[in-house]
Amino acid sequence: MITGVPAQPQVITDPADERVADFRDLVAGDRRPGTERGTGPVIVEGVPAVERLLASPYRIRTVFGIPGRVAGLRLPAGVAAYEADRWVLSEVIGFRLTRGVLASADRRPPLDLDALLTGPDPAAPRRLAVLEGLNDHENIGSIARSAVALGVDGLLLDPTCADPLYRRCVRVSMGHVLTLPIAVLGDWPAGLDRLHGAGYRTVALTPADDAVDIADVDPGAHLRTAVLLGAEGPGLTPAAQAAARVRARIPMRGGVDSLGVAAAAAIAFATLRC
């Protein structure tokens, strides 16, 4: 439940106003000159996504939008809130915003792997999405949205994945990625043995003919399941597939070699839900 007080936004008339610097020139990305990949504030667009941010563990910094949109939000005490007409707003962010409101938040560091694997209740069944080499921000956002909708409890990324808190990821996920615990497995793919040691069955998705039909993978046979997903085109590397306990495919009509990774993820999450 979102708590807080009704926003009382101040009016911004100058696009160069430093109070809204978090939102300047977003078409250039979330990263500012001189910053490293995966740094800088988290940027969230749209009322539903901002409300999810408010309910998440991320500390909100600033809210900025057109008149009427910001005032409808309930914000924690001390959060700066600003509004501007759509022309000033567009000049600040670098494009025409159709969602009416944005927010910025402080980043949270990735979880320690053990914290992701056990979760708040070590005895509870848990499911993970494990991503290798995904560099398309929209795919990561779509996977995160499906993960939350279909009962996946966290994201585990290999070191080459794109930033899951990048603006496009957050936007496509409708803010749901902010509710998912996220960790990075630096020792890839050998570190997958740590999942096996924690009781996870790892299921690698592949269109290969020698993989088992995913419908034949009994989701009730293991309390914990981790679904491995690779990038569009190349898919999971042979090393990642070899490290998994099960290689599974989604049956398709002849002439179609594979699904997009976001669609495949949603089918796998639904099929392996128990």
CB neighbours of residue 97 within 10 Å: 21
**How far apart (Å, rounded) are the C-alpha atoms in residues 111 and 89?**
34
At 231-243, the pLDDT tens digits run 988 899 999 999 9
Higher pLDDT residue, 39 or 76? 76
Helix axes 137-149 and 261-271, enclosed angle (nearest 10)? 20
**How far apart (Å, rounded) are the C-alpha atoms in residues 169 and 112?**
22
**How far apart (Å, rounded) are the C-alpha atoms in residues 195 and 221?**
16
Tokens of 68: 């009427």
pTM of the model: 0.92
At 100-136, the pLDDT tens digits run 899 999 999 899 999 999 888 877 879 999 999 999 9
Q: Return left, alpha or beta for 158; rule: phi > 0 is left, psi -120 to 50 is alpha, else beta.
A: beta
At 41-77, the pLDDT tens digits run 999 999 999 999 999 999 999 999 999 889 889 999 8
Is the pLDDT assigned to residue 28 strictly greater than 70? Answer: no
pLDDT for residue 33: 43
Tokens of 254: 């002849």
The 3-state DSSP class for residue 144 equals helix
Sheet containing 212-213, strands listed edge to edge, beginning at the edge strand earlier in sequence: 182-184, 154-157, 127-132, 224-230, 200-205, 246-249, 212-213
Query: For all residues of the chain together, what is the average pLDDT?
Result: 91
CB neighbours of residue 112 within 10 Å: 10
Domains of the chain: 5-105 (3.30.1330.30), 113-271 (3.40.1280.10)
